[in-house]
C-alpha cells in the first residue's frame, strides 16, 4: 500500500463508496439508454424485414439472409450490453453495501481494497481513480 493513502476515516471511505456507486449508476443509465436505442433499432429492422418479405416473397435468399444476419448481430450486441449493465449493477450494489458496512464501523481501508481487487473495480472506471488504482499506481490519469 502506498504512503499517499494517508489516514482515511471510515466516513470518508463510506462516502467514497457511495460516490463510486453513483458514478456507476450514471454509467448504467447511459448504457441502458444505448441499449434501449439498439433494441428499438432491432425492432424497426425486424418490422422492415417482415414487411419486405411479405411484400416481395420472391426476394433473393441472399438478401434475406444478410438482413437476418444483421439483425442477429445487433441482438448479440444487445445481449452483450445487457450483460455489461448487469456487471455494473452488481459492482454498484457492492459499493453501496460496502458503504453501509463502513458507516456501521465494520470494515476499513483494507476491506475496500480487497473488494476492489476481487471485483477488478478499476476496469469499470474511465477517468475516475479507485483507491486500488492509487495504491497500485493503476490510475488512468
Q: Which residues contact 112 (CB under 8 A, 6 or more apart)?
A: 13, 16, 17, 98, 102, 131
18-35 pLDDT tens trace: 999 999 999 999 999 999
Residue 13 CB burial class (10 angstroms; 0-12, 13-18, ≥19):
buried
Res 1: pLDDT:
39
Residue 115 CB burial class (10 angstroms; 0-12, 13-18, ≥19):
buried
| Residue carrying C-alpha cell 450494489 | 93
85-94 pLDDT tens trace: 999 999 999 9
Crossing angle of the two packed helices 109-119 and 10-55, in degrees rounded to 10: 20
Amino acid at each position: 500500500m502506498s504512503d499517499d493513502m494517508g489516514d482515511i476515516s471510515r466516513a470518508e471511505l463510506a462516502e467514497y463508496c457511495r460516490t463510486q456507486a453513483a458514478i456507476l449508476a450514471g454509467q448504467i443509465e447511459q448504457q441502458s439508454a444505448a441499449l434501449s436505442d439498439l433494441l428499438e433499432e432491432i425492432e424497426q429492422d425486424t418490422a422492415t424485414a417482415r414487411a419486405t418479405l411479405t411484400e416481395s416473397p420472391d426476394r433473393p435468399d441472399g438478401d434475406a439472409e444478410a438482413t437476418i444476419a444483421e439483425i442477429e448481430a445487433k441482438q448479440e450486441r444487445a445481449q452483450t450490453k445487457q450483460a455489461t449493465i448487469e456487471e455494473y449493477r452488481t459492482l454498484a450494489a457492492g459499493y453501496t453495501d460496502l458503504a453501509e458496512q463502513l458507516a456501521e464501523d465494520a470494515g476499513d481501508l483494507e476491506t475496500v481494497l480487497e473488494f476492489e481487487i476481487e471485483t477488478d473495480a478499476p476496469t469499470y472506471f474511465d477517468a475516475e481513480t479507485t483507491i486500488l488504482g492509487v495504491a497500485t499506481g493503476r490510475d488512468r490519469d
